Structure 1
């Protein structure tokens, strides 16, 4: 039986994670930590864990962790705090499941990967889209060669905004002051639609492309008056095979889990021999190839238990020793983060950004025809 602790209720997905953990026979919940005692208590009660040990005084955190001796920790803190928690937890030998995104930047991600290596434990990232049956089915089709080599990935995703819902997707109506007081709208805390959603597209997109790194990234973002973070971004990644696009949006007309968005949220993959569309909440993917020019609806696959949630994938790794793979792997996740860093740099500089395995960099010279064509509007 694995001892599990939940840390940070800044991300509303903690309610989902605790509910998943409570239903998992391989774990026992030993405690929860958050600076906001009222928020933590409310979520724990809502998911039937009102009696769970809870710590809100950070002076007591180390003593609590030493007493609880967690084997696994689920972290839903602000993105900027991920590295702090990984350092604390891996030093105690605990495996860490981070709620997306991986981290605030590549430097922090590399530090977390190194901590896991030094302490011989695991760090994985829960990307909820990775467990959607549509995207798993699309990956199977790609892996089987149904569309040939993937040459383009097109991604659009988002919701009405992070302040329009709480845990369990409980709907609320925010005010402009709510934005001013929320970490989601703080640049220092890792807020913004680009950091919230782009990692989905770049990480799963890298997975669909078997780990391929783009040559360059060009991004533009939209900041509404008075905000310090974006509510919309459009990112173009250039590969040897052509251009891929990634759109993030806070401010969709509907939340996709209630009513499907337009544009549809999800992926369209283009290959050398066909295409496949994989939208977030559909019960099928649509395959187009030479024998199905009008498209063939392929019912979604049933997910294997070990790849049905981030927690089940982490427990499978701990039980079997099999490496974390796909979007949970640090290799795929690092490439996704590298592209996010490149997009942030590009949006800030108003320029195309080159990609290397060490990180993004501005080209030494600007002003080429390609730069002019891809230059974002600021």
Structure 2
């Protein structure tokens, strides 16, 4: 099987380690090198998930041979594939340059920090013919894919409301990494000018999923953003948003301010005019409620297995570039552009306090 020359630019998003491992495990990769974009302030921590820690971790785990101080020098080596995980506001700068050179690009969520950046990337991909693929952890969840299939089969009638909230979180460094508030404040996640904050980190999931489950582009958004527990940094850590889809709505939450979720499902929860479907990223099943006034589900459907040969990031990406067939739709660029339009409207609405129309 063909091997591909692969490069990594950006270690801002810690998910890059999982993505790189998928490509390494495929046995179809020749690593060219990795690079990162410098920040105008000094990071402090050298602890798990921090930028200082992630570069050597990435290189050691995947036997990446070289670090390039300038990302443009890495692109000059003409890799076939670029794995991109820069700060959210910097995706377009790098991706457009790579796509213009005919390099296939995989971006870790969110797609971008604004609609204009996402549009520029899609246009560059369409013009060059290179693949643009946006990776979402939720796109690999069997229960979510099964719920999508069941909704489309009409088991709950016409979907009228979509609800999603992320799992309990106190921010990106609340999973045992041990960063102090001072150290967290020096990471890009807590700098709005680089796309830090809970809005782009977590509301993006609901925008992507609601586009899939409700089957079309939203029309407008309203949102409220607060800093509830992160007093060491001037970014939002909890966001509530509603998207208008005309004949349906989506209610989304993105939080870095939830100590424990309790018994509240993350979702997605899809309410139809003839029932409700509940998926949960923590359970390999879908619960279906098609009777009134019941506490237990009418049916529990085990999650479908992922398609054979397409169970992981790298093989799905290889299939896309080799066959020209679209990937699973959560990862497809034009669908993501519509979802990004919703995320951009949420961002604007959170700032203006008004209903914002989608672009």
Q: Decide whether the 8 Å contact of 2:244 with 2:250 is kept in 1.
A: yes
SS of 1:23's equivalent? Answer: helix
The alpha carbon displacement at 1:89 in A equals: 1.3
- Pair 1:266–1:178, CA change in 2 (3 A): farther
In the alignment, what sits opposite 2:43?
Answer: none
Q: Give the drift of 1:154.
A: 0.4
Where does 1:103-114 land on structure 2 (aligned, <5 Å)?
A: 103-114=112-123
- Quote how far apart the aligned CAs of 1:233 are: 0.3
Counterpart for residue 34 of structure 2: 32
Shift of 1:347: 1.3
The partner residue of 2:133 within 124, 130, 152 is 124
Whether the 8 Å contact between 1:132 and 1:281 is mirrored in structure 2 is no
Rounded to whole Å, the distance in 2 between the matches of 1:63 and 1:213 is: 38
Selected match of 1:298 from 290, 297, 301: 301
1:24 Cα deviation from its structure 2 partner: 0.9
Q: Which residue of 1 aligns with 2:257?
A: 251
In structure 2, what is the Cα distance between the partners aligned to 1:37 and 1:56? 15
Q: Counterpart in 1 of 2:174?
A: 164
Asked if structure 1 preserves the Cα contact closer than 8 Å seen for 2:181 and 2:232, the reply is no
Partner of 1:309: 312
Aligned to 1:326: 329
Gaps of 5+ in 1: 166-170, 255-259, 360-378
Change (3 A) 1:347 1:286: same
User: Residues 215 and 118 (structure 1 numbering): CA distance in 2 closer, same or farther, change over 3 Å?
Assistant: closer
User: Distance in 2 between the 1:342 and 1:266 partners?
Assistant: 22
**Which residue is equivalent to 1:366?**
none
3-state secondary structure, aligned to 2:14: coil
Tell me if structure 2 keeps the 8 A contact 1:156–1:263.
no
Unaligned 5+ runs, structure 2: 38-50
1:235 counterpart (232, 237, 241): 241
Contact 1:8 1:34 in 2 (8 A): yes
Counterpart among 337, 340, 346 of residue 340 in structure 2:
337
Pick closer, same or farther for the CA change 1:346–1:62 going to 2, 3 Å. Answer: closer
Q: How far 1:292 sits from its partner (Å)? A: 11
Distance 1:70 1:145, change over 3 A: same
State the shift of 1:179 in Å: 2.7
Secondary structure, in 3 states, of the residue corresponding to 1:164?
coil
Are residues 103 and 37 of structure 1, via their aligned partners in 2, closer, same or farther at CA, if it must alter by over 3 Å? same
TM-score in terms of structure 2 length: 0.88
Q: Deviations over 1:230-260 (max 9, x none)?
A: 1000001223334320001113325xxxxx7
| Secondary structure, counterpart of 2:193 in structure 1 | coil
Task: Find 2:74's aligned residue among 64, 67, 70.
Answer: 64
Aligned pair in 2 of structure 1 residues 230, 291: CA closer, same or farther (>3 Å)?
Answer: closer
Task: Name the residue aligned to 2:45.
Answer: none
Matched residue SS, 1:263: coil
Question: Quick check: 1:78 aligned with 2:87?
Answer: yes
How many residues matched? 339
Distance 1:176 1:199 in 2: 25
